[in-house]
Structure formats: C-alpha cells, structure tokens
Chains A and B, each alone.
Chain A
Amino acid sequence: MTSKISSAVLPAAAPHTADRDRGTRIALILLGLGVAVAAPFLLYPVFVMKVLCFALFACAFNLLIGFAGLLSFGHAAFFGGAAYVTAHAAKVWGLEPALSILLGTASAALMGLVFGALAIRRQGIYFAMITLALSQMVFFLALQLPFTGGEDGIQGVPRGRLFGLFDLNQPLVMYYFVLAVFLAGFALIWRTVHSPFGQVLKAIRENEPRAVSLGYRTERYKLLAFVLSASLAGLAGGTKALVFQLASLTDVTWQMSGEVVLMTLLGGMGTLLGPVVGAGFVVALGNYLAATSLPVPVVIGAIFVVCVLLFRRGIVGEIAHHLRRRST
C-alpha cells in the first residue's frame, strides 16, 4: 500500500531501491531549483512569473482533485477574489506587498471555508455544480461592486517595497520574490501530501465509506483540504495581481476555473509536478501563440482533445507510468 502511494506521488522515483530513489530525488530537486534560478536570464521574467503563479494555482487545485478526489469547478473565485483584495489593499490602502498578498490569501481562505462547508455535503457532479454556482456569485460581485472597477478592473497596482527593503519594481527582485512564494506554497503542498493527513485524504479519494468505517470524520478532512487548496489558490492570485499590477474579471470567470482543470489534466492529475508542467504548457501556448495568426482558443482546445484521447495520464503522469513500467 505504502509503495503504491509513494510511487503515485513521486512518479519519477523507482520504488524498490530506496538509496537510488533518494539520490534521483535530490538530483531532480537540485536540477529544478537550478532551472528556476536561471530562468529569468534565459526567458522573459514576467512570463516566467506568470507561469509560476499559474503553476501554484494548478498545484493548489491538484491538491483537491488529485489527492482528495474533489473536482471543484469554482477555483477562479479564490484566485481572482484574492487578486482583487490584494490589488485593493496595495493600491487604495497602500499596504506593504507581503501584507497585501497575505490579506488576499486570508480572504480566499475565508471564502474557501464558506464554499467548502456548503459544497462538501454533496459528491461528484453536485459538488462541482455547487462550487461553480458559488464562484459565479463571486464573478457577479466582482462585476458589480464599486471597488473592483467592473470590467475595467483595478489597474496600475503599485508593486511597492517588500518589507520596506526590496524594490519589487526591479524585475529580478520581483522574480525571486515570486519564486520564493511559489516554493513556499509547493513545499506546503508536498508536506501535506506526505503527512498522515495526506494519507487520509488519499484514503478518502480511494474509498470514502471505508475511511468512514475506519473512524475518520471525512467531512473535516475534506473541508480542511478545501480551505487549504482555496488559500493556496488565493496566494497565487494575490501574487499574480502584483506581478501584472492589475486585477481583472478574467481571473474570476468560470473559464479560469476551466483553465486550471485543463492545466492539471494536461500535466498529470495526482502527480506533484504535473500541474507545474501543465501550467507552463498552457501559459506558454497562450503567450507565444498570441503573436502568431493562429486562433489561440482553438489550438488549446485541439491540444486538449488530443491529450484526452492519446495520453490520459497527462504529460508527467505518462512519463512516470513508462518509467515505472521499465523499472518493474
């Protein structure tokens, strides 16, 4: 059982040789960190920051669907809602950037608590529909409330100085700040998944009645996972508001909830790195196709169809599957 879970979680590692397993894991982590540190010198920094924000968003979403088996179709509410709160706090109240993001994250956590408390009473499609309906309410609030600026959004949000020390208007400073936020969020997810709490979540995903019969109060676990996922989505949204210096309706539309599903599925649901790869892929497509004459939504749609038909486990999931087959 344990080996099955760990191989599902860390697909690149071979389960039967612990030492080699550990070695590859550390090598992979170092490689990943190296790429992340070098990225702004190779690619356009704002683009990489966008990838990181969406990667964190997708990881947060994946925590819920990949490990707790809950398909939320309303995660844009947390992502976009936090973006509005952060933008408002930074622009109108003139708060310090980290504090603004924290406030955005807190608002997402609160929303997550309310949404979660209502939604986890139902399962499957009903769960998805409740989250969708609630997030649509947030969309209409964002459209109508005076502080959001309607469809014009909150624009010209100042990035400010982090802790009063670091000038975030410098692209590299901003980049490493975003990278730190991403790594902190990712580490939290990694820790959650590998904790006893994470194991219970997986048990609920596999067979909820059995988890109940073992004496777990599954609603509490599900609610906590929901709030955690919402908060991390909010963290991503708040950070994105500072990166782009704007918060707009795009981030609260249901299409955004769909986009994060797409990112997670493309990358590989239930793998830790999958959502990161998926987010990078979708954001890169949106960005690089924008300067060509190809219609972006059509291309992304076609890729999604191909992905679902040919490699259902997603990019990372499929690679992991092949590695595992070769090692056994």
Chain B
Amino acid sequence: MRSILLAGTALATLASGAAHAQMSDNVIKIGMLSDRSGIYADINGEGSAIAARLAAEEFGNAVNGTKVEIIVGDHQNKADIAANLARQWIDTEKVDVVADVPNSAAALAVQVITRDKKRLFLMSGPGSTDLTGKECSPYGFHWTWDNHAVASATARALVEQGRKSWYFLTADYAFGHSLEAEAASTLKEIGGTVKGGVRHPLGTSDFSSFLLQAQSSGAQVVGFANAGGDTINAVKQASEFGLPQGGQTMAALLLNINDVHALGLPIAQGLTLANSFYWDMTDETRAWSKRFEERTGRKPSMNQAGVYSSVKHYLKAVQEAGTDDPDKVAAKMRGMPVNDMMMKDVRIADNGRVMNHMYLLQVKTPAESKHPWDYFKVLKDIPGDQAYIDPKKSGCPLVK
C-alpha cells in the first residue's frame, strides 16, 4: 500500500513541473530538411514545413511548457549538403529531431548522422527500403511509404482483379530498378507473370519506342517504374498512343496527387496507383486538408500528410515521456500506436517502419470528378502488415 502511495506521489511530482526540468534545453527544435527548390519542392518542400507547423500548433507550439520551434533547410538534393546541415543543426543549433528529407541518398546520409549523434529522425519522402533494412537506426522512423509498399501494393491489388500479365517501363537507375524488383517479386509470389520490360534513361522525353514495345507485348498491365517528370511524360505519351483505349491498365508505381494535378484528368484518368493518404477519405482528413490548403493553396501530398503525422506523434511522445531524451522518446514512440487524421492505431515496428495502411487508388474520369482536387477513387484499403516488408525479414539488425 505504501509503495503504491509513494509511486502515486512520485508520478504526481513528475507530471507537475518536474517534467519541465527533463528537457535538455528550453526549446524542442525540429529541423525540416527538405528539397525546397528542386524536383521534390512540390510534394515536400515548403508544404512539409507548413504541415509540421500545423502539428505543432495543435500543441499550442509548446509541450509541457517547453517551446516548440521549427527551422527549415534546403538540401538541394545533395547528400553532402544534407549531411552537413543535419550535423551542424545537431552540433550547434541543438536540433532535437530532423524531419521530412525526400531523396533517398540524402536520407541515408542523415540516417548515419542521427544514429551516431543519437537524435531522432522522422522520414516522410525517401523510398529506399534500406532505411529500415540494413541501414536501420534505433532513432530513425520511416513514415508514409517505401518502394516496396507502393510497388507491391499496386501489383498485388491488380493481380487480384485478374490483371496478371505485366510489362515494365523502368527508369534506368537504382530507384527504378528497386521499384521494378519489388513489383516483380510480388507478382512472382502471387501468380502474376512478367511479360517483359524495357529500361529508359533518366529524364527521357521521347517514350514512343518503349511504349510501342509495351503495347505489342500484349501484357494486361503496363507498370511505370519511374517517378516525377518521367512518369508524367510516359503517361502523357501512353495516352496518345492509345494504350489505355486498347485495354491495357496503366499502373504508376510511384505517383503523387501533385503529378495527377499536373497531368490533368483527361490524360491521367484510369491510372492505378497506391498512396498512403488521400485528402478526401474521412471528415478528419478533409478538415485537416482544408487547413493545409488555406495556408498553401493546394491539397497535401501523402508525404506532407506524413510529416504532419510524424511530428505530431513525436510531440505526443515527448509529452507522455515528459522528456526530450532521444532514447526515452524513441521508446515511447514505438510503445504507443500512431493515431491522427491520417493513421488509426498504427504500430511502429522495431526497425523503425511505421506500418500504416496503403490505399489502392484509381484516377477518376473528368465526368466523375465533381470539384477541384476530386481526383481519386479508393479501390482498396491495404493494411500495413500486407503493404510493408515483414520487419523480421527486413535485414535490420535491431529486429530480433
């Protein structure tokens, strides 16, 4: 009885005021390291910083009386600048957590630094599965998506609809190869077939010969294992060559709502893709996206929504743990499920992978779209356990 009483008193002291003393300095500093001027500026960039601010504002910009401050940096898609900035932030500006970081090379560089220096790292944008595989970190948390999730979810869902034979149009660099490999291994697992594939150089403007090969392969699905401008160009030209009209399903292994916005519905209609967030799903997502749109003039991408979710979860963990000690906060983040407008009761695996749902989406036809940004039909809800690599098989040494 006495010990319970004692514990009770101790808890009460901890909750009142004492928590404040647990903070390493008088501010919780979040460093938003992003591409603010290059190809990821639209899907992350300033929008990510705003998403993080929205999360901080929900806490009144303070946790347990300690101020939350958000600073931004532009890594210009260069791994060395990302590494330099992250290091400098941690060493001289006492940044507690680095967030966002699109571009896998930059994220891998920051992962090494945050692991050495014991600072938390919240990723929403890089795709490499190595971040929760052989390069995993006890302080690194991978939100939103990875190459395996977007590629295999799309492959799996389409095979289940009877679209079994695939042809790949792959950007000839590590990211493209990885997307293709993830989709192909899923196809093999569940009885799909790969009819062939062709590799195009990064930044191709003329896809005609590749598309004709895809067309004549007779495959039911043409999978675009590329990203950004390449996907946009390939999809545009595929619609000019009449691939969708000929009955072939076009599957983009990585596509964002901003890409669809850029393409326009007449061209993008019918595309199948997987995202972990779409603004028009529940009242909560709509309400949050409205707040986001008021600040930015556009709907959030999944990466930006993921930044919000990760920063909010981090601040919640700091609040609950009563400290900003990286080890304790990391343990707390793993210990409690992620709950916000984007995710419901999502667990975080030991390798740092956030096991959120993926949604199989299809781009609406112009006739189906009723209002601005009304772009997707949700075809399927894929639970995290099916979407992501089993943490035990990820190759991460932290998983026992």
Interface residues of A (CB under 8 A from B): 44, 46-47, 50, 143-144, 149-153, 155-156, 240, 244-246, 248-251, 286-287, 289-291, 293, 295-298
Given contacts A152-B128, A156-B135, contact A290 B83 (CB under 8 A): no
Q: Who on chain B is nearest to A83 by CB? A: B80
Q: Are A156 and B112 in contact (CB under 8 A)?
A: yes
Q: How far is the CA of A297 from the CA of B104 in the complex (A)?
A: 21
Measured CA separation A297–B78 after assembly (Å) = 12
Q: Report the count of interface residues on B (CB-CB < 8 A).
A: 36
Q: Which of B14-22, B62-70, B84-92 contacts A (4 or more CB under 8 A)?
A: B84-92
Q: Which residues of A contact B175 (CB under 8 A)?
A: 150-151
The answer to whether A296 and B109 have CB atoms under 8 Å apart is no
A296 touches B108 (CB 8 A): no
Among A44, A152, A246, A286, residue most surrounded by chain B Cβ atoms (within 10 Å):
A152
Q: Output the residue of A46, A50, A143, A244 with the most chain B CB within 10 A.
A: A244
**Given known contacts A46-B88, A244-B109, A245-B83, is B174 in contact with A152 (CB within 8 Å)?**
yes
A260 CB, nearest partner CB in chain B, Å: 15
Please tell me if B72 contacts chain A, counting CB pairs below 8 Å: yes
**CB distance B84 to A46 under 8 Å?**
yes
At the interface, is chain B mostly helix, strand, loop or mixed? helix
Flag whether B105 is at the interface (Cβ < 8 A): yes
Contact of B81 among A240, A245, A290 (CB under 8 A): A290
Asked if B105 contacts A152 (CB within 8 A), the reply is yes
Residues of chain B with a CB closer than 8 A to A143's CB:
172-174, 202
| Contact, CB under 8 Å: A153 / B72 | no
Given contacts A291-B73, A297-B37, contact A150 B174 (CB under 8 A): yes
B112 touches A245 (CB 8 A): yes
Complex interface bits, B255-284 against A, C-beta within 8 A gives 1, otherwise 0? 000000000000000000000000000000
Given A152-B104, A155-B135, A156-B135, A290–B79 Cβ distance below 8 Å?
no
Contact residue among B74, B88, B105, B174 (Cβ-Cβ distance under 8 Å from A44): B88
A268 to chain B, nearest CB (A): 25
Residue pair B72, A293 in contact (C-beta under 8 Å): yes
Shortest CB-to-CB span from A234 to chain B, Å, is 17
Q: Check: B130 CB closer than 8 A to any chain A CB.
A: yes
CB neighbours of B91 from chain A (8 A): 44
Closest CB in chain B relative to A6 CB, distance in Å: 37
Tell me if B200 counts as interface (CB < 8 A to partner A). no
Known contacts: A244-B84, A245-B83, A287-B81. The answer to whether A151 contacts B76 by CB under 8 A is no
Q: Check B74 against A47 for contact (C-beta < 8 Å).
A: no
- With both beta carbons as reference points, the residue of chain A lying nearest to B74 in the complex is identified as A290
Name 25 A/B residue pairs within 8 A (Cβ), A-sorted: A44-B88, A46-B88, A50-B80, A143-B173, A143-B174, A149-B174, A150-B173, A153-B108, A155-B109, A155-B112, A244-B79, A245-B112, A246-B79, A248-B80, A248-B105, A248-B109, A250-B80, A286-B81, A287-B81, A287-B85, A289-B74, A290-B75, A291-B72, A296-B74, A297-B37
Shortest C-beta distance, B324 to chain A (Å), equals 21
A293 to B105, CA, bound (A): 22
| B71 sits at the interface (CB 8 A) | yes
Q: Which residue of A lies closest to B77 (CB)?
A: A250
Q: A151-B104, A152-B174, A156-B112 are in contact. Are A296 and B85 (CB under 8 A)?
A: no
A240→B80 contact, CB < 8 A: yes
**CA A201 to CA B18, docked complex, whole Å:** 72
User: Which residues of A are found within 8 Å of B202, using beta-carbon distances?
Assistant: 143
Would A249 and B105 count as touching, CB distance under 8 A?
yes
- A244 pairs with B83, CB closer than 8 A: yes
Q: How far is the CA of A244 from the CA of B72 in the complex (A)?
A: 21
Cβ–Cβ contact B130 & A250, under 8 A: no
Q: Across chains A and B, which 8 residue pairs bring their CB atoms closest together, nearest first?
A: A150-B174, A248-B79, A295-B37, A155-B108, A250-B78, A156-B112, A244-B80, A290-B74
CA gap between A210 and B323 in the complex, in Å = 75
A240→B172 CA distance, assembly (Å): 27
Tell me, rounded to whole Å, the shortest Cβ–Cβ distance linking B146 to chain A: 13
Q: Which of A46, A47, A246, A286 contacts B109 (CB 8 A)?
A: A246
For the complex, give the distance between the alpha carbons of A152 and B105 in Å. Answer: 4
Q: How far is the CB of A257 from chain B (nearest CB, A)?
A: 15
B110 to chain A, nearest CB (A): 10
Residues on B with C-beta less than 8 A from A251 are 80
Tell me which of A152, A240, A248 contacts B130 (CB under 8 A): A152
Nearest CB to that of B92 among chain A residues?
Answer: A44
Across-interface contacts of B83 in A (CB, < 8 A): 244-246
